[in-house]
Amino acid sequence: MQWRYAKDWCASVSIRSSLILVNLIAFIIVFVLFMKAEPILRIQSLGHLLFSSSWHPLKGQFGFLSFIVGTLEVTAIAMVLSIPVSLLSAIYLSEYAHKYFKGLVRLMLDILAGIPSVIYGLCGVIAIVPFVHSLGGFFGNPTTGYSLLAGGIILAIMVTPVIISVSMEVLAAIPDEARTSSLALGTTRWETVRYVVLKGSLRGIIAAIVLGFSRAFGETIAVLMVVGNVAKIPTSLFDPAYPLPALIANNYGEMMSIPLYDSALLFAALVLLVLVGAFGLVANITLSRLTKKGYYFS
Amino acid sequence: MPHISLRNLTITYGDLEVLKGVTADIPDRQVTTIIGPSGCGKTTLLKSLNRLLDLNEDARLYGEILMDGINTYGQNTDILALRKTVGFLSQRPYPLPMSIYDNVAFGPRIHKLSRYEILNQIASVEKHGLLAQCSVENLFQMDMKKKNVEMDILVECYLRLSGLWDEVKDRLHGSAAQLSVGQQQRLALARTLAVGPEVILADEPTSALDPLSSQLIERQIKILKNLYTIVVVTHILRQARRIADHVIFLYMGELVEDGPADQFFDSPKDDRTRAYIKGTIS
């Protein structure tokens, strides 16, 4: 009997401590980044770091605005391209497609989601960069093709399978009674999808989009390979950009002899982390607001 | 009023023959119960009546279902109109993800019923004196210039007709998901009635409910049969005895016996019916 109590005690201690460990790591990361970024914060004001776009490390000028703008814009392009296609595909698969076809596509989506990002990057260089190059020529906007748009397209391609498969699960969780109840009133399939299925799964769909967004936000290699990496605020879709993850990956470990460079890069990492965190927080608050306001979610 | 006849109806799922050549009539403005052991094809038969069976990709149907003499599985059938005429109540109620009010108003809004159509529909319900204590005159004295007042009247009318009004009148714009399961089933009934059907199909409507809620549903069914043709699938023999005017008994996909309830229960003709009523087969 005592032995069983002991085992029970062990189990609760170990599950609790694993959770604490996982959360502790997150805190340690934030703490270390902050400590390392602290020297540059002591010398330059936060406002200057965030809102100046002059990036001349040799002169000691570290303005991150162009990188922050680049990150946000690349992600925004990716989401604009990806969300409509992903949602419509998920609706088709969940509500219209035959079950065998659904199984086949699910398999393909899993494979797509599992492709290493460097391969997406290569495909981007081989296919998307020339495509954007000729697109730019077509619109009278000479470009190398290594641009904001190329980065956005490659990110959209990467994020789409994730959003589709999560949304598909979400839609599948709506019970069949919902569809039957609505169709039995004489509604069309689309009316049922729109007013009953989508409305009932709004929460989950937002969660799927947030997941895709976070993935796009932090994606490094594939973007770095096609986005051009020029530290200037892009003025058009065909201009090169330089997102934060690419900046860090390209430069950390090199040119470390420049004073404060190391600290500046870690500050960039901190900014990236805070942005992702803030976005997650906003999404969460929005979700709980929706839940409070509406009875939409059963 | 549609007169429903099944003519040599056979339904298969792949290789499995669920219904085998069923021929029967469903009388108007009566409660017809379809009884039989589980897996005998009751629900399949019910779902074929408003073509909800179409949702099942594997199902194949042979034979005819005639409604006013027209085959509903013919090529020119307007499925949406058919489903509007033949309402359906599922086993487990599912409140649509919206308020109680919007649940009832959903169908009429989708079908874009005009004020005239809505008021006409309500007047035909009132004609049968079913809106006890509701007094449509009172309703019609509401400010008719107010926007969407006809929808307010409709929601109240059908919530009364499904016996839910008194419980929800103070929280019409609250969540439908927060109602108890029994209340949700009556809400589903109100939702079904609101599009103005002539036939109501109910698939074991009380099987998910507690005894008291079941009783309420049975009571509403008995009231509503004055206005609608009602078909109820049930596996509870006592329930069939309580509510049925007409009985269809299925066994292993075959129609064993059908006829008026008194005759069916008091002097069954078939041995299998006798055995089922006695409880020796199930």
What chain B residue is nearest to A201 in terms of C-alpha separation?
B97
**Does the distance separating the beta carbons of B177 and A298 come in below 8 Å?**
yes
Residues of B in contact with A182 (CB under 8 A): 96, 106
Q: Is residue A24 part of a domain?
A: no
Q: Residue B101: which residues within 8 A CB-CB, separation 6 or more?
A: B155, B172, B173
**Total beta-carbon pairs less than 8 A apart between chain A and chain B:** 86
So where are chain B's domains? 4-278
The pLDDT tens digits for A159-193 are 999 999 999 999 999 999 899 999 999 999 999 99
Q: Is residue A235 part of a domain?
A: yes
| pLDDT reading at A83 higher than 70 | yes
**Percentage with pLDDT > 70 across chain A:** 97
Q: Residue B187: which residues within 8 A CB-CB, separation 6 or more?
A: B93, B95, B100, B103, B104, B159, B162, B164, B168, B176, B179
Residue A298 forms contact with B (CB below 8 Å): yes
Q: Is residue A282 part of a domain?
A: yes
User: Mean pLDDT across the stretch A262-274?
Assistant: 91
Residue A78 · residue A159 · CB < 8 Å: yes
| pLDDT reading at B135 higher than 60 | no
Residue B261 · residue B63 · CB < 8 Å: no
Closest CA relative to residue B52, chosen from A91, A182, A200, A191: A182
Closest-CA distance of chain A to residue B247, Å: 24
Q: Residue A184: which of B88, B93, B95 has the nearest Cβ?
A: B88
Q: Residue B57: which of A98, A180, A186 has the nearest Cβ?
A: A98
Give the CA distances from residue A120 to residues A113, A128, A226, A234, B58, in Å, rounded to whole numbers and listed in that order. Answer: 11, 10, 10, 23, 40
**Does the distance separating the beta carbons of B195 and A180 come in below 8 Å?**
no
Q: Residue A281: which residues within 8 A CB-CB, separation 6 or more?
A: none
Q: Is residue A134 part of a domain?
A: yes
CA B148 to chain centre: 27
The torsion defined by the Cα of A127, A131, A132 and A133, in degrees rounded to 10, comes to: 110
This prediction has a pTM of 0.85
Residue A293 forms contact with B (CB below 8 Å): no
**Does the distance separating the beta carbons of A184 and B177 come in below 8 Å?**
no
Give the CA distances from residue A54 to residues A50, A51, A254, in Å, rounded to whole numbers and listed in that order. Answer: 11, 9, 20
Q: Is residue A287 part of a domain?
A: yes
User: Mean pLDDT across the stretch B141-159?
Assistant: 80
* A250: helix, strand or coil: helix
Domain that holds residue A172: 65-293
pLDDT of residue A295: 45
Residue A186 forms contact with B (CB below 8 Å): yes
Residues of A in contact with B83 (CB under 8 A): 183-186
Give the CA distances from residue A89 to residues A97, A163, A166, A206, in Å, rounded to whole numbers and listed in that order. Answer: 10, 10, 12, 16
Q: Residue B177: which of A177, A182, A295 has the nearest Cβ?
A: A295
Per DSSP bridges, beta strands A55-56 and A61-62 are antiparallel
Closest-CA distance of chain B to residue A181, Å: 7
- The CATH number of B4-278, from 3.40.50.300, 3.90.190.20, 3.20.20.100, 3.90.76.10, is 3.40.50.300
What chain A residue is nearest to B55 in terms of C-alpha separation?
A180
pLDDT of residue B250: 93
Q: Is residue A2 part of a domain?
A: no
Count: domains in chain A:
1
CATH number at residue A250: 1.10.3720.10
Residue B278 · residue B253 · CB < 8 Å: no
Q: Is residue A5 part of a domain?
A: no
Model confidence at A298, in pLDDT bands (50, 70, 90)? very low
Number of H helices and E strands in chain A, helices first, is: 14, 2
The pLDDT tens digits for A113-151 are 889 999 999 999 999 999 999 999 898 888 898 999 999
Average pLDDT over chain A, rounded to an integer: 90
Residue A297 forms contact with B (CB below 8 Å): yes
Q: Residue A33: which residues within 8 A CB-CB, separation 6 or more?
A: A266, A269, A270, A273
> What is the C-alpha separation between B65 and B101, in angstroms, rounded?
35
Residue A100 forms contact with B (CB below 8 Å): no
Query: If you ran DSSP here, which 8-state letter would residue B77 be given?
Result: -
> What is the C-alpha separation between B196 and B123, in angstroms, rounded?
12
What chain A residue is nearest to B176 in terms of C-alpha separation?
A295
Model confidence at B129, in pLDDT bands (50, 70, 90)? low
Burial-class residue B165 by CB neighbours within 10 Å (0-12, 13-18, 19+). buried
Residue A185 forms contact with B (CB below 8 Å): yes
Angle at B139 between CA B136 and CA B140, to 5 degrees: 90
| pLDDT reading at B99 higher than 50 | yes
Numbered residues of chain B with Cβ closer than 8 Å to any chain A Cβ: 50, 52, 55, 57, 80-84, 87-88, 90-99, 106-107, 110-111, 174-178, 188, 191-192, 195
The pLDDT tens digits for B204-254 are 999 989 999 999 999 999 989 988 999 999 988 999 999 999 999 999 999
Strands (E), B122-234: 199-203, 229-233
Model confidence at B136, in pLDDT bands (50, 70, 90)? low
The torsion defined by the Cα of B135, B138, B141 and B147, in degrees rounded to 10, comes to: -80
pLDDT of residue B251: 92
Q: Residue A295: which of B94, B99, B192 has the nearest Cβ?
A: B99
Residue A245 · residue A224 · CB < 8 Å: yes
| pLDDT reading at B1 higher than 60 | no
| pLDDT reading at B35 higher than 80 | yes
**Does the distance separating the beta carbons of A199 and B97 come in below 8 Å?**
yes
> What is the C-alpha separation between B15 and B158, in angstroms, rounded?
43
Q: Residue A144: which residues within 8 A CB-CB, separation 6 or more?
A: A129, A133, A228, A240
Angle at B155 between CA B151 and CA B160, to 5 degrees: 150
Strands (E), chain A: 55-56, 61-62
CA A171 to chain centre: 21
Closest-CA distance of chain B to residue A293, Å: 10
Residues of B in contact with A100 (CB under 8 A): none
Q: Which residues lie across from B259 on neighbouring strands? A: B247
Q: Residue B120: which residues within 8 A CB-CB, separation 6 or more?
A: none
